[in-house]
Amino acid sequence: MRELVIIMIFCVFSARAQNAPVILKAKNSASQIVAAAHPGFSFLLPEMAGSLEFGIIQGEKSNWLKDFPGTKVTADRKSVKYLLRGETSGELVIEAVSLRATDGLIIRVTAGNFPAGTQLFWAYGGASGKTGAKPALLPEYCRYNVFSVEGTAFTAYYGESMKLKVIQGMMPPASVIRLSDAFRQDTPLTFFESDKKTDAPALAAVLPLENEQYFCIYRQNAAADYNYFMLPEVFAEAER
């Protein structure tokens, strides 16, 4: 079994013995964002508002980032940083910081030394609207999710029909977004190419893996209404 080294609040654990998530604080004291031991995030606000997962696609081959052979994680109460190195080439740095103005997370992905044509994959869904949910993008959590996509921004609607809740996503402009089948998560490529006719809808997308890209999942309010060009400044403010 491969070893996964996690550095969390100045402690080091073996993935064989410890695969604990990192709990990031949110604006609302009742909410929290769960960061997995790999680059994956679940939004408990406090009800399950969805999960964000990442992968890499190279031609016909694709892998979830949780399957990378070496990952180091550094975290505190408001941020988490992942350093991932491929078996032969490529390095990813994924930094996620809790937003100050609202419940949500801003993520910066920095990549280097990957072969030309490598694509980054992301998927979002699984907003069951239930408290006490497992922090994962599970098909059963996707059943009643509805998405409105405008360019590469989206709004997810979830929860009871007369008490719908919403959460927003602002993704890199190069994202090619599809409605996909959350039952088909064997690989990122399988997920992306799956049929949108499903009772477990989720968003799946691919984009060129470039040097610096931003992702933001958040609950919109008067102080948090973002466009993509704003995200570098939002990230810098969240880090301070």
DSSP annotation string for 49-108 = EEEEEEEEEETTEEEEGGG-SEEEEEE-SSEEEEEEE-SSS-EEEEEEEE-SSSSEEEEE
- pLDDT over threshold 70, residue 87: no
How far apart are the C-alpha atoms of 168 and 134, rounded to whole Å?
21
Q: 10 Å Cβ neighbour count for 130?
A: 12
Distance of CA 96 to the CA centre of its chain: 9
Q: What is the pLDDT of residues 40-78, one digit of tens each?
A: 999 999 999 999 999 999 999 999 998 887 789 998 889
Distance of CA 110 to the CA centre of its chain: 15
How much is the average pLDDT of 216-231? 94
Mean pLDDT of the chain: 88
- pLDDT over threshold 70, residue 18: no
Q: Which of 91, 93, 73 lies closest to 5 in space, CA to CA?
A: 73
Lowest pLDDT segment from 1-5, 133-137, 186-190: 1-5
Lowest pLDDT segment from 22-26, 102-106, 205-209: 22-26
Q: What is the pLDDT of residue 88?
A: 65
Q: Which helix (H) or strand (E) holds 192?
A: helix 188-192
Q: What is the pLDDT of residue 195?
A: 84
- Which pLDDT band, with edges at 50, 70 and 90, does 9 fall under? very low
Q: What is the pLDDT of residue 64?
A: 94
- Which pLDDT band, with edges at 50, 70 and 90, does 160 fall under? confident
Q: What is the pLDDT of residue 8?
A: 30
How far apart are the C-alpha atoms of 54 and 42, rounded to whole Å?
12
Domains of the chain from N-terminus onward:
5-239 (2.70.98.10)
26 to each of 48, 88, 98, 106, how far by Cα in Å? Answer: 14, 37, 6, 12
Separate counts of helices (H) and strands (E) for the chain: 2, 18
How far apart are the C-alpha atoms of 118 and 62, rounded to whole Å?
10
- pLDDT over threshold 70, residue 10: no
Distance of CA 152 to the CA centre of its chain: 15
How much is the average pLDDT of 89-115? 92
Q: What is the pLDDT of residue 5?
A: 33
- pLDDT over threshold 90, residue 26: no
- pLDDT over threshold 70, residue 1: no
In one-letter notation, the amino acid at residue 234 is V
